C-alpha cells in the first residue's frame, strides 16, 4: 500500500496481521490483506516476504519458454502446429499456467483474505493440470509403443522392426499385463488423480490445517507415480530403438534427466515440509532465503529436467522418420488429435474451475465477514508528507 506522498508504509510483523496470513517461522515482511491491485503489483519491487516467492516462479517462465521453443528448430522437425506437437503444446500450457498462477498467487494474495484463498485454489488447480499435461507428453513420446508402427503384412498385422534389434520380437517390448492400462486407463487415471489432488489441497485451506504442508506434499506424490508410469516402464525394459541407431543415442539421456527430475522433487518436498532454514533461525530468512523460495527453485529445476527428458524422446522419434506416428498410421499407439490432447485438457480445466468456484464461494462465506470487519478496524492510512 502506498501513502499519498508516494512512500510505501512499513511492512508488518506477524503480530500485526490476521492469523490466516501468518507463515510458520516468518516473523516480518508481511503486507496487510487490504492492498489494492496496484499496490500488490508494485510490491513485486519491494522486499516483502512474498517478493522472492513471486520472482522464483515468474522468471522461470521465460527460461522454460527459451528451452521449449528449441525443439521446433531441429532439423527434420515438423511445423509447430502439426498434430505431432499437440502433446508438447499441452505440456507447455500446463507448465506456463503453473508458473504464472503460482507467481501471481504470491503477488496478489494480500488484496483480501478471500482473494488470498482464491489465489491458492487456482495455484493447486494449475499444479494438477500440469501433471496431466506431463502425462500427455509421456503418453505420446515415452509410451512403451511410441515410435513402433504396426503395418499390414501378408499374414496379418505385424510390427515394423526395421529399427529394432535383430532377433528380438517387437511384442517382447510390451508387458501384456500393462498394455490395457497404457492404452485405455493411463490418461483417465491421470485426470482422476489430478481432480483428487485439487479437492484434497483445497480442503487443507479449510480443514486439516495443522498438517497441511505434509498433506499437500504427499497428495502430489500420487500423480507423480501415475504420470511417470511410462518412464518407469522405459527404465525397466529395453529401448525400442536399435543400439546402433541415432535414435538410441538420443534417448540414452532420458534416464539421467528423469533421475535428476526425481531428485529435485525430493529436495523440494524436504524444503516444503521441514521449513528449513527459517525453522533454525526464525526472523533471519523472512525476506530472502526461506524454504518456500528454495521449494520454488527446486520445483522449477525438476520441470526443466523433465522438459529435457521429453525433448530427448522427441528427438529420438524425429531421428527415425519411418517411425513417426501421424494420426492416420495404423499403430498400436494412435497419433495425437485435438480431442485426445486439447480436448482432454479442456475437460479437465472445466472440472477444476468448477471445483475452484465451489471452494471460493465457501471461502467467501467464511472470510467475507472478516474482510469487512478488517476494513473497518484497519482503514487505509493516508499520512501527510513533511
Binding residues for Zn(2+), as ranges, are 106, 292, 296
* Cβ pair 158, 150 in contact under 8 A: yes
Angle of the 113-141 helix axis to the 291-318 helix axis, nearest 10: 30
Task: Show binding-site residues.
Answer: 106, 292, 296
Cis status of the peptide bond prior to 185, with omega within 30 of 0: no
Nearest one of 131, 143, 164 to 302, comparing CA atoms: 131
User: Quick check: 109 and 359 in contact, CB under 8 A?
Assistant: no
Q: Residues near 138 by Cβ (< 8 Å), separated by ≥ 6?
A: 227, 228, 229, 230, 231, 310
Integer-rounded Cα Rg, in Å, for the chain is 24
Angle ∠(105,214,259) on CA atoms, nearest 5: 85
3-state SS assignment for residue 96: helix
Question: Strand, coil or helix: what is 208?
Answer: coil
Question: 167, 151, 142: which is closest to 159 by C-alpha?
Answer: 151
> Is the Cβ–Cβ distance between 194 and 348 less than 8 Å?
yes
> Of 183, 161, 157, which is closest to residue 170 (Cα–Cα)?
161
* C-alpha 85 chain-centroid distance: 19
CA distance 17 to 11: 10
User: In sequence order, what are the beta bridge partners of 149?
Assistant: 331
Rounded-to-integer distance, Cα 235 and Cα 69, Å: 27
Say if residues 276 and 291 touch (Cβ distance below 8 Å): yes
CB atoms within 10 A of CB 93: 19
**CA-CA distance, 135 to 17, in Å (whole number)?**
41
Amino acid at each position: 500500500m502506498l501513502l499519498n506522498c508516494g512512500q510505501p508504509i512499513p511492512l508488518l510483523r506477524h503480530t500485526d496481521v490476521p492469523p490466516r496470513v501468518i507463515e510458520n517461522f516468518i516473523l516480518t515482511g508481511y503486507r496487510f490483506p487490504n492492498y489494492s491491485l496496484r499496490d500488490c503489483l508494485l510490491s513485486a519491487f519491494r522486499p516483502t516476504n512474498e517478493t522472492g516467492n513471486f520472482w522464483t516462479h515468474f522468471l522461470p517462465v521465460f527460461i522454460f519458454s527459451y528451452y521449449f521453443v528449441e525443439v521446433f528448430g531441429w532439423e527434420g522437425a515438423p511445423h509447430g502446429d502439426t498434430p505431432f506437437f499437440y502433446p508438447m503444446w499441452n505440456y507447455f500450457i500446463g507448465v506456463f499456467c503453473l508458473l504464472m498462477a503460482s507467481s501471481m498467487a504470491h503477488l496478489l494474495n494480500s488484496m483480501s483474505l478471500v482473494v488470498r484463498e482464491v489465489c491458492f485454489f487456482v495455484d493447486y488447480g494449475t499444479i494438477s493440470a500440469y501433471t496431466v499435461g506431463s502425462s500427455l507428453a509421456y503418453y505420446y513420446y515415452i509410451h512403451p509403443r511410441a515410435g513402433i508402427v504396426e503395418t499390414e503384412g501378408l499374414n496379418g498385422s505385424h510390427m515394423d522392426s526395421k529399427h529394432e534389434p535383430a532377433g528380438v520380437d517387437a511384442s517382447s517390448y510390451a508387458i501384456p499385463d500393462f498394455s490395457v492400462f497404457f492404452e485405455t486407463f493411463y490418461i483417465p487415471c491421470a485426470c482422476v488423480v489430478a481432480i483428487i489432488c485439487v479437492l484434497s489441497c483445497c480442503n487443507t485451506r479449510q480443514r486439516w490445517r495443522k498438517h497441511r504442508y505434509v498433506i499437500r506434499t504427499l497428495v502430489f506424490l500420487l500423480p507423480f507415480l501415475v504420470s511417470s508410469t511410462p518412464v518407469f516402464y522405459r527404465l525397466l525394459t529395453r529401448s525400442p530403438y536399435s543400439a546402433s541407431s541415432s535414435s538410441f543415442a538420443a534417448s540414452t539421456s532420458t534416464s539421467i534427466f528423469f533421475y535428476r527430475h526425481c531428485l529435485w522433487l525430493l529436495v523440494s518436498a524436504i524444503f516444503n515440509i521441514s521449513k528449513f532454514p527459517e525453522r533454525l533461525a526464525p526472523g533471519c530468512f523472512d525476506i530472502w532465503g526461506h524454504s518456500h523460495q528454495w521449494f520454488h527453485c527446486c520445483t522449477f529445476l525438476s520441470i526443466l529436467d523433465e522438459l529435457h527428458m521429453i525433448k530427448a524422446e522427441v528427438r529420438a522419434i524425429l531421428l527415425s522418420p519411418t517411425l513417426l506416428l501421424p494420426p492416420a498410421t495404423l499403430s498400436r499407439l494412435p497419433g495425437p488429435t485435438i480431442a485426445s490432447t486439447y480436448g482432454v485438457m479442456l475437460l479437465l480445466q472445466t472440472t477444476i474451475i468448477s471445483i475452484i468456484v465451489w471452494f471460493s464461494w465457501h471461502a467467501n462465506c467464511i472470510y467475507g465477514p472478516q474482510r469487512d470487519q478488517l476494513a473497518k478496524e484497519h482503514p487505509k492510512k493516508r499520512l501527510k508528507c513533511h
